[in-house]
């Protein structure tokens, strides 16, 4: 009996040595800096926070609402450079407050937020197809004194085809509506679907970029978009001024100083 126990002990020690040797071998081969971080968005979980963005509206899901307990009014902010949006709690009297949910009898439910003045320039910024809706995962991040935000990376989105609205359906030569199948499952763009994830170095750079100093409010983003549209319309409507010969007659070009 004692001899059997000694043999088992020896075998255990040999196995432990083999494991240590194998671990050391793997350590030499595996380089974290050469790896890719598999995207969290590729894993489905109904408890995850999401925002769904359409050409004329946005809507935060229930998990998103629950991620900010007791919050009914929010600020929506955007960073155009890194293409991210975020939400944070705010006072109902805040001039930029948005009621993102319906609160009744102690319960909060998500609601559709109609905001084409925001989503239209957002679609233009992202180069999105207005016939599609986009689902973006949110991440709850505590910025200390800046507060808790839910941040959405618009570059990592799932795409869904929208059904044509009444009156916008394709028709055949006889004017009959052509029924087109709609993929309800959604899909990721090729740069995400064809890769396992993001290189570790890129992940570290993104983490460094993610700061609150470059976010602007939804209202400022809308105002900037309107200003650009008004300027473009003004330029298009302004007639080309004819050159006044009296202003150019007798003038000469002054050569630059050497």
Strands (E), the chain: 36-38, 50-54, 57-60, 73-79, 84-89, 98-99, 101-104, 107-110, 113-114, 132-142, 148-161, 197-199, 216-217
* Phi, then psi, of 244 in degrees rounded to 5: -85, 115
What was the pLDDT predicted at 186? Answer: 75
The most confident of 2-11, 16-25, 235-244, by mean pLDDT: 16-25
What band does 251 get if pLDDT is binned at 50, 70 and 90? very low
User: Each residue of 116-170: pLDDT tens digit?
Assistant: 999 999 999 999 999 899 999 999 998 888 889 999 999 989 999 877 666 666 6
Q: Are 128 and 68 in contact (CB under 8 A)?
A: no
Query: 89-115, pLDDT tens digit by residue?
Result: 999 999 999 999 999 888 999 999 999
pLDDT, tens digit, 9 for 90 and up, residues 17-30: 567 777 788 778 88
Query: What pLDDT sits at residue 254?
Result: 35
Would you place residue 227 in the very low, low, confident or very high pLDDT band (cuts 50, 70, 90)? Answer: low
Q: Which residue has the higher pLDDT, 219 or 97?
A: 97
86 in Cβ contact with 151 (< 8 Å): yes
| Cβ-contact 169, 181 below 8 angstroms | no
Whether residue 258 has pLDDT greater than 60: no
Q: How far apart are CA 63 and CA 71, in angstroms?
A: 13
């Amino acid at each position: 009996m004692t001899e059997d126990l000694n043999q088992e002990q020896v075998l255990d020690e040999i196995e432990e040595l083999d494991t240590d040797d194998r671990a050391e071998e793997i350590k030499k081969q595996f380089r974290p800096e050469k790896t890719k971080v598999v995207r969290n968005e590729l894993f489905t979980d109904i408890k995850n926070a999401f925002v769904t963005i359409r050409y004329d509206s946005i809507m935060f899901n229930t998990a998103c609402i629950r991620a900010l307990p007791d919050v009914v009014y929010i600020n929506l902010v955007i960073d155009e450079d890194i293409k991210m949006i975020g939400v944070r709690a705010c006072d109902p009297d805040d001039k930029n407050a948005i009621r993102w949910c319906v609160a009744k009898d102690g319960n909060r439910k998500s609601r559709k937020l109609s905001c084409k003045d925001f989503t239209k320039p957002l679609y233009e910024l992202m180069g999105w197809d207005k016939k599609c809706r986009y689902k973006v995962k949110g991440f709850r991040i505590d910025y200390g004194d800046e507060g808790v935000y839910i941040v959405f990376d618009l570059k990592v989105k799932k795409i869904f085809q929208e059904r044509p609205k009444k009156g916008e359906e394709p028709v055949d030569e006889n004017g009959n509506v052509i029924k087109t199948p709609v993929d309800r499952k959604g899909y990721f763009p090729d740069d995400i679907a064809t890769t396992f994830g993001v290189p570790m170095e890129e992940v570290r750079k993104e983490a460094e970029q993610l700061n609150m100093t470059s976010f602007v409010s939804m209202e400022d983003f809308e105002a900037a978009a309107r200003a650009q549209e008004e300027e473009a319309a003004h330029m298009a409507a302004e007639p080309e001024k004819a050159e006044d010969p009296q202003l150019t007659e007798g003038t000469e070009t002054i050569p630059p100083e050497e």
